[in-house]
């Protein structure tokens, strides 16, 4: 079962890695993962009572920029881009 999940995660990460940076739309260098807190999950489009891992593409420059985490979360909350969601 874990092997199946690992494979699913690897495939997902590989797909997200090909997408442009979620903040500047330039080429991305990393795939980040964000897991919203349960009580705020619905703000990020996660169904009530569920927990999800949200993967996003990001470049080096944006990752190191000030307030990057806040801007990433805001981008995901606003539903900008196409963030892959995986069931846990």
Q: Pick between residue 24 and residue 35 the one whose CB is nearest to Zn ion.
A: 24
Q: Would you count residue 62 as binding Zn ion (CB under 5 A)? A: yes
Q: Would you count residue 24 as binding Zn ion (CB under 5 A)? A: yes
Residues ≥6 apart with Cβ < 8 Å to 4: none
CB 65 within 8 A of CB 74: no
Q: Pick between residue 62 and residue 76 the one whose CB is nearest to Zn ion.
A: 62
Dihedrals φ, ψ of 55, to 5°? -105, 140
Q: Would you count residue 23 as binding Zn ion (CB under 5 A)? A: yes
Q: Which stretch binds Zn ion (CB under 5 A): 15-23, 34-42, 70-78, 79-87?
A: 15-23
Nearest to 27 by CA among 38, 19, 15: 19
Residues that bind Zn ion (CB under 5 A): 21, 23-24, 59, 62
């Amino acid at each position: 079962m874990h092997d199946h999940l690992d494979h699913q995660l690897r495939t997902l990460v590989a797909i997200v890695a090909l997408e442009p940076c979620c903040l500047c739309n330039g080429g991305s260098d990393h795939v980040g993962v964000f897991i919203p807190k349960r009580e705020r999950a619905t703000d990020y489009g996660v169904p009530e009572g569920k927990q999800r891992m949200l993967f996003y593409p990001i470049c080096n420059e944006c990752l190191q920029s000030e307030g990057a985490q806040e801007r990433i979360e805001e981008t995901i909350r606003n539903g900008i881009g196409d963030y892959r969601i995986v069931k846990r």
